[in-house]
Structure 1
Amino acid sequence: MNEPIFLEPVFKDRIWGGTKLRDLFGYEIPNDHTGECWAISAHPHGQSVVRQGTYKGKRLGDLWSEHPELFASDSKVFPLLTKILDASDDLSVQVHPDDIYAGEHENGELGKTECWYIVDAEPGSVIVYGHEAKSKEELVRWIEEGKWDTLLTKIEVKPGDFFYVPSGTIHALGKGIVVLETQQSSDTTYRVYDYDRKDSEGNTRELHLEKAIDVTTVPQSYQPGSYQTSQQGGTEITTFVSNEFFSVQKWRVTGPAQFEKNKTYQLFSIIEGEGELSVEGQAYPLRKGEHFILPVNFGPYEVSGNFEAVVSWN
C-alpha cells in the first residue's frame, strides 16, 4: 500500500508534566500537567488512532492484527511505542525489566528497553543514568540508607543528545527536558525513588523496590555511543542504534531525497521544521508534531523541505 498511515496521539496526565507539548508542538493538551504524548502506540493503555485515509478511525492495534500485510512481522503485538515526554519536574528514578522477567512477573508484558533523543533541554538540565554501586549488596545498602547522591549517576544534557537505555538501567529524566522516546511496547516501570513527593491528595507514590533490585544491572555506567552518518540526496541520516529491539535514526532533510521501497515498516516523528512526502504523484504535507507509519514495501517515495525526523523500526 502506497499510503502513509498518519496517527492521532494519546496524552497522559503526569505529576511531573507541564505545557511544552502544547508550547513546542502545538498539541491540544488536556491540562497543564500533561507529561506524555503516546504518539505511535498500540499498547492497551493508550492506542493511537488513524487520522485519515483508507483506515481512518482504526486503532493501531486493530490495524496490526487485521492487516498483517502492512507490517510483515511475526510479532504477536505491535512491538514499538513512540512517546514525547515533557519533564516539567524531575521524573521518578526507575528501572525496567527485560522480556524474560516481565513475561514471568507482569502477565506476559514485554520488557522495556528504550532510548531518548533530547528534543529540548533547559541549560543545566540533567538525567539520572546508571549508578555507582559495585555489587548488589552495595546497591541494596545505599537504597535502604537513602544515599541517593552517592548512588545515582547524573549527566548534564543538551538538545540533540541521544541515550540508549537498556532494561536493567536505573534512570530518570530531570526537570526541564523534553525527549522523544522510542521503546518496546511496554508500560511496566519499577519505581526506585520519587523524592518523597506527594500527589494532590497528599499520598506518596508506590515504590517497587524488591522488583527494582531484582532487575537492576550491577555494575552499571554510561558509555557514550558512536554514531554513523550517511547522505541520501538532501537527507543526512544518523544511525543511533540498531539491535534486536529497534533501529533508530535521525533524518535531517534540507532538500529533495529519493528512497526506494522500504523493506520493513517505518515509524516517523517530525520533531522540527516542515516538508513534504511524495509518492505516486500524491503529496503529503509534513510539519512538526506529525507522526506516521510507512507500511512495508511503501515507495518509491521522495521527501523534501527543511525538517528533522526520528525514524525507527523493528
Structure 2
Amino acid sequence: MTIFPLPANTPRSFYRGAGRIAGFRGIPSTDDPYYPEDWVASTTSRYGAAPAGLTTLPDGRSLAEAIAGDPVWWLGERHVAEHGADPAILVKLLDAGERLPLHVHPDRRFAAAHLASPYGKTEAWVVVSAEPDAAVYLGFARDVEPDELSRWVADQRIDQMLDATNRVQVRAGDAIVCPAGLPHAIGAGILMVEVQEPTDFSVLLEWEGFAIDGPANGHLGLGYDQALGCVDRSGLGAERLAELHRARRPTADDRPGVRRLFPELADEFFAAERLRPDPVSELEPAYSVVTVTAGDGTVTSEHGPPVPVKAGDTLLVPYAAGWCTLRGDTTAVRCKPSL
C-alpha cells in the first residue's frame, strides 16, 4: 500500500466538541463531547499523556515506528537530510463546540531554551465549516504590559483579556496563520483543518469553566512567571492582522488543480494546498496529509493502486507514492512539511 486511508484518532481533551468530526467523517457519534480533535497521521503525543495522540497504522505499528524503520521511503532524502525521521508537522481536525480558552504556544527559541525541543507551535487553520458570526481571537489589539497580563491570568479576568484581543470573523474556506507567541482562541461553531509544528505545547491564559486545572497544568511545568515569557504582548495592528489572513497569490509555478494556501510567513514551518481537480490536481512526490472536504473522487499514485475518496476521508501519502493525481468532483486540503 502506498496511500493510507486513516481512521479517526481522537485523544480526549478538556474542551467540548459538537459532534462535527463524527458527522464530517461519517462515523458513529458519542455522548461524550470531550473528543473534539482528530489527530491525523500523528507522530506527536498529547503533552504529558503519551501515547495518546499517536497514529497506529493498519498493520498495528505506530506511524512513528514505521517512519523510523524506513525514513527515506516515507519522507524522501531531502526531508531526511533536513529533519531526520521526523515528519515535522502535525495535522488535526478540530471541532469547536464551545469557545476554546485564550492560550498561547511558545516559539522555537523559547521551546529550545525551556522545553528541550527544536519546535515551537506555529499553527494555521483552514476553515471547513463555520456557523454564522463564528470568529477566532488572534493577538492583542494593543500593547499589554507584563504586570497587566500577569494580573489578568492570576485573577482570571477573562472579559478584560478578550476585550484586548482582535476578534476575526471567519467563514468556510478561510485560511489563517497563527504564529507562535500570539494569544488566540477559536470560537464556537467552527470545524477546521489545523496544521502545526509537531508539539502539544500550550500555555493557558484562561481556564475558568474548563475541565482543566490551570494553575497546576496550564504552564508546561514552568510556572506562570516563566511561562508567560513566551507571550507576544505587542499590539497586532490591522495591517499585520490582514497579513495573517491574506490569500496566497497565484504564481506561474502553480500546478493544475492546486492552489497554495497561507501567506509566505508560514513557509518555514509547513505548507498547505487546496485541491480542486481541473480536470485533475497534480501532486508532486512529498510526505503529505490529505483531508477530503467535499464531494468524491479518486487518488491515483505513481506506485500503487487507485484509492476512492469521499468527503470526510483523511489520507496519509508517503514520499514513495511518487507523483499522484486527484480526480473527480471533489475538494481537498493537502498539508505537508516545508523544506
* TM-score normalised according to structure 2 size: 0.80
Cross-structure match for 1:13: 12
Tell whether the 8 Å contact from 1:17 to 1:88 is kept in structure 2 after alignment: yes
Cross-structure match for 1:210: 225
- Asked whether 1:59 is paired with 2:62, we answer yes
Q: Which has the higher strand share?
A: 1
3-state SS, counterpart of residue 115 of structure 1: strand
Cross-structure match for 2:323: 300
Tell whether the 8 Å contact from 1:268 to 1:292 is kept in structure 2 after alignment: yes
- Asked whether 1:250 is paired with 2:250, we answer no
- Asked whether 1:23 is paired with 2:23, we answer yes
Tell whether the 8 Å contact from 1:96 to 1:212 is kept in structure 2 after alignment: no
Tell whether the 8 Å contact from 1:18 to 1:32 is kept in structure 2 after alignment: no
CA 1:84–1:181 in 2, change beyond 3 Å: closer, same or farther? same
C-alpha distance in structure 1 between counterparts of 2:25 and 2:10, whole Å: 13
Tell whether the 8 Å contact from 1:130 to 1:170 is kept in structure 2 after alignment: yes
C-alpha distance in structure 2 between counterparts of 1:258 and 1:79, whole Å: 23
Q: Which has the higher helix share?
A: 2
The offset of 1:7, in angstroms, is: 2.7
Question: Cα RMSD over matched residues?
Answer: 2.5
- Asked whether 1:270 is paired with 2:270, we answer no
- Asked whether 1:50 is paired with 2:63, we answer no
Deviations 1:42-67 (A, max 9, x none): 1133111223xxxx322111112111
- Please list every run of 5 or more consecutive structure 2 residues that lacks an aligned counterpart in the other structure: 47-52
Map 1:127-276 onto structure 2 (within 5 A).
127-137=136-146, 139-140=149-150, 143=153, 146=157, 147-194=160-207, 196-199=208-211, 205-206=214-215, 207-208=218-219, 209-221=224-236, 222-223=241-242, 224-229=245-250, 232-233=255-256, 235-241=257-263, 242-253=266-277, 255-259=279-283, 261-262=284-285, 264-276=286-298
Tell whether the 8 Å contact from 2:247 to 2:261 is kept in structure 1 after alignment: no
Cross-structure match for 2:40: 39
Cross-structure match for 1:111: 120
Tell whether the 8 Å contact from 2:23 to 2:29 is kept in structure 1 after alignment: no
Sequence identity percentage: 23
Tell whether the 8 Å contact from 1:9 to 1:48 is kept in structure 2 after alignment: no
Number of equivalenced pairs: 302
Read off the aligned partner of 1:5 and give its amino acid letter: F
Map 1:90-129 onto structure 2 (within 5 A).
90-108=99-117, 110-129=119-138
C-alpha distance in structure 1 between counterparts of 2:185 and 2:282, whole Å: 38
The offset of 1:109, in angstroms, is: 6.7
Read off the aligned partner of 2:306 and give its amino acid letter: A
Cross-structure match for 1:279: 301
C-alpha distance in structure 1 between counterparts of 2:234 and 2:210, whole Å: 31
- Asked whether 1:290 is paired with 2:289, we answer no
Tell whether the 8 Å contact from 1:130 to 1:152 is kept in structure 2 after alignment: yes
Deviations 1:116-171 (A, max 9, x none): 11111110111110112324345446556722243222111111111101100100
Greater CA drift, 24-33 or 135-144: 135-144
* TM-score normalised according to structure 1 size: 0.86
C-alpha distance in structure 1 between counterparts of 2:32 and 2:67, whole Å: 33
- Asked whether 1:86 is paired with 2:90, we answer no
Read off the aligned partner of 1:227 and give its amino acid letter: R
3-state SS, counterpart of residue 10 of structure 2: strand
C-alpha distance in structure 2 between counterparts of 1:257 and 1:178, whole Å: 24
